[in-house]
Every structure is written in structure tokens, then in C-alpha cells.
A and B are shown apart, each in its own frame.
Chain A
Amino acid sequence: MTPLAPTYRSLEPPVRLVVLVYWSALLLIFVYNVRVRTRLPVHTGLKDREPVLLMLFRFILTATFFGAPYLFVREWLGLEILLFAVCLLLFYPWWTTRHIAIPLRMPRLAYALTAFGGMEWWFDKPEGPVAAAAWCLSRQRKATKQSVTWAEKQLVPSRPLRASTVAAHAMLAAVRGQFSEARMLFESMLLLHGRTAPVPMWRLCFEWLATDAAARGDWTAVRRFAAHYLAPRVSTLLLLADLAGRPPGKRKASIVEVFLSRLPFRSPNLKPILSGKPTPRCATKELHIVSPVSLEGALRASLDSADPHSASLTVLAETWDSILCDEHLRQRLALRSAALGGGDVDTALHQLRQLVESDLTEAIDAVLKNEESVSGESPLLKSALSSRRRRLLTELEERMARLDARRNKDQALPAIDEWKEFLAFHRTYTSIYAPDESPDRTIAFNMISLRLNSFAVWLHSQKKESVIANAIFRFLLPEARRSNSPSLEILSRNAKLSITDFTIKSERHPRSLRG
């Protein structure tokens, strides 16, 4: 007999049940945290080096867990519960926030618990607590204006940006109902360095994005988020990735599956993510145009509800080319013009052409977003591509000029706005090129590379916005490699120097960057 056995047996059955539940709960919490903590993202290079103090605290807690039965035997039940609660708050505040405050939808409690969060949130206060509070608010049926305002007010605009800042703003946007903005901000976190937010924040980001994509039916995005190198390998994301790999129509998980996925025992199934197989997509409708092509046929094709993709775009453009050059149509219009006593046929056809071309330009955007390429001999399509390119390059130049002007005047925006400006710039830049290799990308890069580098150096050196600067360098680096640019070395150096050990040394800038 062990020292424990007679003690346990001496207890009344109801009390035994309580003790059993208590031990099981402690064990589950311990195992859960160990498993999650050690389940690091693949290929991140993130090293979760626990500070010494934190390790000590965990040891004390572990001792407490296993010392509990002894204390319990001495019937210090109340003290034990109190100690347990204190340990939980002290050592696992985020767990408490996540599993108690947030489900209870208590934003101020969530804020306080996260703010209390010790080492984990050391560099992310008040952003982390605000994100937690906003999470509570997003789960309420209708968040009150006062609570939203209170949460917004906790943010400090003058603090340099970190990934947590973006997460906080994204959650607040979701609370306000601005979901496209929330989505944009969460997605933008993927451009930031992994060390600029604690792991729970990354988990929040990826889970929000993946569940949002699943709710919209965008399973390619679900797979992309779950497979991202910054995404923690948690069961929830793995389940979603698994669902993305299933055929269309079978992509809903039951409540039981969801519940089981949230337990720490399920093994991560990395196969769906790492297999490289494309996400099965729903069948798309092909555009069908009856020949010989007529005006009515072209109009019908323009109203057809087929999905936008490259082949149908080409067909449509060629159809309109033939209509606009059709001599019969021109003759018909000339007769009508005479009957009306005026009216320039060329003007009318030109206006029609402009309408079609503008529409084709937007259709090109939609096709390129689906990661297809656009090409063809159609004059309308070429013209649309050309005007789209010009428009985007002009827009890029204008955005760059605005950044230059602010740098020259030494005018920085609040951190989150500075980030949004860069995101708008990034969006324009990435819109310019097609998935296949295109010299447009080189043109765009040559146009902005050094100026953007100078801007980022200014942000880092003068405005202490190292995280944004680092994101800019890391954005420029692959582009420089691709273009075989002479500025590759400078960018590489700047990327390395702009970000140091963020857990401890984030405020130091030991070496200057090259502009």
C-alpha cells in the first residue's frame, strides 16, 4: 500500500469523486500546456526560450499539483482551491483568459487577466489585453458603444507597432462590424516577423482567418492559413486543414469532432498540409458563346454568370473585338444616325469600347486573384492589360511619392496608420504582376526599391518603427533577388539588423541601417 491509498480510501464516495475530478483537471491542464507549448510551428526558426523565472514558476506549480493530495489529506481543501486558483492566474493567465473570461464574455476581466500575464505579454501590453477584450466583445450579441470605446482607448497610439498591435486593431474592427478591414489586418500580420507577438496572438490570428475563410467557403485560403509557417500547429487549425482537403460538400465537421480537436490528445496530422496537393475546388461553369458571333450573343456573354477565369476572359474579349469591328453593325448604326438627324457612329462605338475595356480590366483583376495568368492576342485584352498596368504603375508612383514627401517632411503617422499605408502600397505592388514571370514586376521594383528602402530606414532610425521597417525589408528582399538587383546586399543587411531579439532587446538598435 502506498501512503496515498489509505488516505484516499478513507474519504467518503462523493468526496472521492471531487478529488478525482480535481486531480484529473490539474493533470489535463498541465499536459495541455506542455503539449501546446512544445508544438512549435514548423520551419519558423522561432525559439521559445522560456526565461528562467518562468521555468521556476512552472516547477512550483508542478510541485503544487503533485503535492495537492497531501495537502488535501490534511483537509485544507479551501486553501488548496485558493492555491490552485492563484497558481492558475499566476502561471497560466492566458489559459484563464481564453477558457474562462472570454467564454463568459467579460471584456474587462479578460483585459485584466492578460495584463496580469507576466512574461508572456511583457512587450505586448496593452495590445494583447485589448485583443483579448475585443475578442470577448466580438462574442457578445451586440457590444455596447461604451465598452468598444473603452477598449479602443486602452491602446497607446505612440507605441511602436508590433504584430499584437495589428491583432488588437483587427479584433476591434471585427467588433465594429468592419469585417473586411479585420480580415485585411489579420492577413497583414503574415508579413510581420514571428517574434513580434506571443504565440497566443498568432493562434488568434490564424484561427480567426481560417474560420472566417471556412465560413465564406474559401477552402484554398483555409489550407493556406493552416499551412503558413507562422501558424501554430494546433488541433483546430489542423482540423480545418483536414476539412479543406476533403471533397466539396463534405467540409463540415460535427460538434464532436470540433470538441475532440480542442483536446490536447489528438495527434497533429500534417499530411494534408504537407502533401502539396491542391485544395479541391468546386466545379466552375464555362462560358459558351454561340457562333457566328452577334451583338446579342456578345451581350448575353457579358451577362453570363460563369466564373471569371482566363479562358472565358479571352473568349469574351475576342467576341467583343469582332463585334466592334463588324461592318454590318457600323452600317446599321450609320443608317440610324441618318434617321436621327445626327449622331457620330465612331463616338458611339468608341464609348462602347471604353465600357468593355474598363470591364475587362476589372475582370483581369479577378482572374489574377485566382492565381491564373492572362494573355492573348485580342486587341481589347491587350489594351485592357496595358491600361491596367499603367494605372497601377501610376498609382504605385503616387503612393511612393506620398511616402517620400512624408519622409522629407519628417512626418510619421500613428503606427497602425503607417502600417496601413504600407499595406495599401503592398497591395498595389502585388496587383501589378501576374503569377507568371513578368517584366512588370521588375519595372515596379526598380521604380520603388531604393526609395522604399530609404523610407524604411527612416522609420527604423528616426521613428523607432523597427517592425514595420523589417517587414518592408523582408518584402523587398525576395524582389531584389528575383531582379538580381545591386541593392540586394543592402536590403539583406537591413533586414537582419532591423530586428533583434524581441523577447528581451526590442528597444535597442545597436547598429544603424543603410539607406
Chain B
Amino acid sequence: MILPRIARAIEENPFYVLGVRPECTRQEFEREGQKLLSMLALDLAEVRTYNTPLGERTRTTELVRRSMAELREPSRRLLHEILAALPQSEIHTSQPTRPELDDRWVNAPALFGYGRFREGRQ
């Protein structure tokens, strides 16, 4: 089962956000972070997303700043190094497959006179 906080911590792992190795030096991630901030400020397409084991995610200025701040704190960096154990290229489906979604009778409300079923009705 998906553990949401762990999944989120992996999705927003600073190493994935900044695109650096867990063993990188401070100078490396500072430089990379600075570059990303500059590129995001000018809306360069190549840095709008980043890869995680849970698929592609949107990179924002706030996320980059937060990632840099997290890696500057040694205790926080240790935690993120633990959570960056999976390679970025390894993809897991983040949405749990829900077999009951295939077994739905979406037209039921309309057929029985209760209006059209709308997605987001969950």
C-alpha cells in the first residue's frame, strides 16, 4: 500500500528536485540550485519538471529553495539521503489501482432518475 507521507517525501526529495547525487558536495547542490532558480525565473521549459521514482513532477521556485535549505541542514540531509535510495529512473505507479473502478456502473444514477454521475463525485 502507498504510504502517503513517505511517497510525498520521495516526490519532493531535494536530491531529485535539484537533480544531484546524494553524495554531492555543498558547492555542487548550491550551484545547481542557483542555476535552477535562474532558469525557472526565466521559465525555461527544460527545468519545469523533474523525475522521481513516482514519475515526473513539476518543479517550482519554492520547491528548489526549500530543497536547498533542507540540504544545508546536516540532520535533514541525512533523512533525505535515506529516502533517495531508489533510483530516479525507477518508476512506481503512485495511484493505487482500484479494481472497483472497473466495476462501476456509471450510468446508474441517470437511469434511475438521479442525474448524471460526475467525476469528482467521490
Contacts and interface: CB of A to CB of B under 8 A. Distances in A.
A316 B1 contact: yes
Contacts of A249: 102-103
Interface string A22-58: 0000000000000000000000000000000000000
Interface in B1-36: 1-7, 9-10
Interface of B: 1-7, 9-10, 53-54, 73-79, 81-83, 85-86, 92-109, 111-115, 117-118, 120-122
A243 interface: yes
Given A306-B1, A355-B6, A217 B81 contact: no
A303 B53 contact: yes
Given A139-B113, A340-B77, A215 B1 contact: no
A219 interface: yes
A287 to B, nearest CB: 7
Nearest to A138: B115
Nearest to B104: A217
B103 A219 contact: yes
B85 A359 contact: no
Given A179-B121, A359-B4, A243 B74 contact: no
Contacts of A306: 1, 96
Contacts of A355: 3, 5-6, 9
For the residues of A in contact with B, the DSSP-based class is: helix
Nearest to B7: A303
A351 interface: yes
Given A296-B86, A313-B1, A304 B92 contact: yes
A299 B114 CA distance: 44
B6 A356 contact: yes
Interface in A238-291: 240, 243, 248-249, 251-253, 255, 258, 282-285, 287
B99 A284 contact: yes
A248 B101 CA distance: 11
B104 A299 contact: no
Please provide the 6 A-B residue pairs with the shortest distance between their CB atoms, ordered closest to farther.
A343-B74, A217-B100, A282-B99, A359-B3, A348-B78, A217-B104
B97 A305 contact: yes
Contacts, number: 176
B100 to A, nearest CB: 4
B2 A336 contact: no
A157 B117 CA distance: 30
23 contacts: A135-B114, A177-B118, A179-B120, A207-B114, A208-B114, A211-B109, A211-B112, A211-B114, A212-B121, A214-B105, A215-B117, A218-B100, A253-B105, A282-B103, A299-B53, A303-B7, A303-B54, A316-B1, A337-B74, A342-B75, A343-B74, A344-B75, A359-B5
Contacts of A348: 75-76, 78-79, 82
Contacts of A179: 118, 120-122
A190 interface: no
Interface in A326-380: 329, 333, 336-337, 340-345, 347-348, 351-352, 355-356, 358-360, 362-363, 366
Given A285-B97, A343-B77, A348-B79, A307 B1 contact: yes
A300 interface: yes
B6 A255 contact: no
A253 B98 CA distance: 22
A295 interface: yes
Given A179-B121, A207-B114, A216 B104 contact: yes
Nearest to B26: A340
Given A300-B86, A303-B54, 10 more contacts: A139-B115, A214-B104, A282-B100, A285-B97, A287-B1, A295-B82, A343-B78, A348-B79, A348-B82, A355-B3
